[in-house]
Chain A
Amino acid sequence: MYKLIKNTETNELGNVILRTTDNIYIPKHISNTDYQEYLEWVAEGNTPEPADE
């Protein structure tokens, strides 16, 4: 459902998460309601797919 994304320049995790159901990139910003839903999803014990290496 969600996948972590790397910034390929820094090879570190970027400030976005990919929602794989609709290919929407969600910013890690608390006022974004989609990010709030992601945090709730994680709090329920779910784990996002790891970023591509």
Chain B
Amino acid sequence: MSTIKVNNIQNANGTSAIAIDSSGVATFSKTLVPSSSMMYRNLIINGAMQVAQRATIVSGQGLGGYITVDRWSTSYVNPSAVWTHSQDTDVPSGQGFGYSFKMQCTTASAVGTNERLMVGQRFEGQMLQHLKKGTANAESLTLSFWVKSNKTGTYIANLYDTDNTRQISKAYTISSADTWEKKIITFAGDTTGTLDNDNNQSFILFFGLAVGTFETSGTLQTSWGSAVGTDRFVGQVNLGDAVNNYINITGIQLEVGDAATPFEHRPYDAELARCQRYYVIHNSNAVGDRLANGQGDSTSVVNFIVPVPTILRTYPVCGFNNLVCRNGVTNVTISSLGGINYSTTSNFVNVYFNTVSSVQGAGYMLRATDADGYIEFGAEL
């Protein structure tokens, strides 16, 4: 180890490049050129678990999907253990995080042969073209995150290329129980298999939690190659083998290059907007809240224009609860949703509700019948 003490660095021609003042502040006199982009370098959306539009805690969950924190889905295959999912306030001290994602086991089970529980994030191909995957210039990726669990041992992170059915897995170790630890894993670039440049799924990052022998009986696939199921999660502990086993995770960053840079903390509104490309919910706060404007198409259909804050990834699914069509003082009951129209250049969704007795040409508001009224749109991968 040695130290160079200077207050100015110049090029060979004597032009100043970096000035360092007495407090150690360095000022670059010209453009700073990093080896890779510093803007949006974290490919992960909601890596700090700030956004939880659906719910902050859901108990007794035995099915997969998007449950609490946005963009993070759980994938269950043949589940036997039962879990509580939550957006948790337990975070690593002094790192600037407000939330973590927690899964806690409420019903334990030995892991079945064909069972799998993973948490993951899915990526659109058009978001990943700068990885240059499938070319001689393919970029390596570095994954960094904070994790805490009562169950120590080996865990597996897996990158899965769904366009080309290829994968790479890396093991990491949770060394100390009930202690936040930072983990850094680098995945090599893959010179085989280009990613589609579109809005469909191309890539998935998975964290294994409990996996049966159908994906653990081989040899861990630590280099990119055609996906071999039995080589995917070799060595993964079963987090679901005891009640109250838990895992907290936050500060997840996946970035181009061989080194982990500090976590890219993004403002809440920016992170929320990125999440809303995949899921939007309009909640009521009280009975009578209006959520959208519409018009009676006929005596049996009311057509609403429901705004969305950003362009959705694709044609969305729609769910709703405790809503009626309101014309003046008259409520018209909604019997079902009869159709959805959406254009991926528009920031609204056209929703057709089948009704019992609407009036053609009349104006309607989409009205909540209580504080639990909502309409939601999902365009997840």
Contact = CB atoms under 8 A, between A and B. Distances in A.
Interface of A: 5-9, 14-16, 18-19, 22-27, 29, 31-34, 52
Interface of B: 199-201, 297-298, 300-301, 313-319, 335-342, 352, 354-355, 378-381
A33 B73 CA distance: 13
11 contacts: A7-B354, A8-B354, A9-B352, A25-B317, A27-B318, A27-B340, A31-B199, A32-B314, A32-B316, A33-B201, A52-B336
Contacts of B355: 8
Q: Which of B298, B335, B342, B354 has the most CB of A within 10 A?
A: B354
The secondary-structure label for the interface of chain A is: strand
Nearest to A34: B317
Given A8-B300, A9-B298, A31-B199, A15 B319 contact: no
Contacts of A15: 339-341
Interface of B is mostly: strand
A43 B9 CA distance: 67
Nearest to B122: A33
Nearest to B321: A23
Contacts of B316: 27, 32
B251 to A, nearest CB: 27
B314 A31 contact: yes
Given A25-B317, A27-B315, A33 B339 contact: no
B356 to A, nearest CB: 9
B337 A8 contact: no
Contacts of B317: 19, 24-27, 32, 34
Contact of A7 (B201, B314, B338, B379): B338
B315 A14 contact: no
Residue of B200, B297, B339 ringed by the most chain A CB atoms within 10 A: B339
A41 B344 CA distance: 26
A31 B315 contact: yes
Contacts of B338: 5-9, 14, 16
A14 B381 contact: no
A43 B300 CA distance: 33
B181 to A, nearest CB: 33
A7 B352 contact: yes
B301 A25 contact: no
A6 B300 CA distance: 11
Contacts of A27: 315-318, 340, 342
Contacts of B380: 33
B65 to A, nearest CB: 9
Contact of B335 (A8, A16, A24, A34): A8
Contact of B339 (A14, A31, A32, A52): A14
Contacts of B314: 29, 31-32
A33 B297 contact: no
A52 B352 CA distance: 17
B319 A22 contact: yes
What 5 A-B pairs have minimum CB-CB distances, sorted nearest first?
A29-B315, A8-B300, A7-B338, A9-B301, A31-B314
Nearest to B355: A8
A7 B340 contact: no
B315 A7 contact: no
Contacts of A8: 300-301, 335, 338, 354-355
Nearest to B300: A8
B319 A16 contact: no
A32 to B, nearest CB: 5
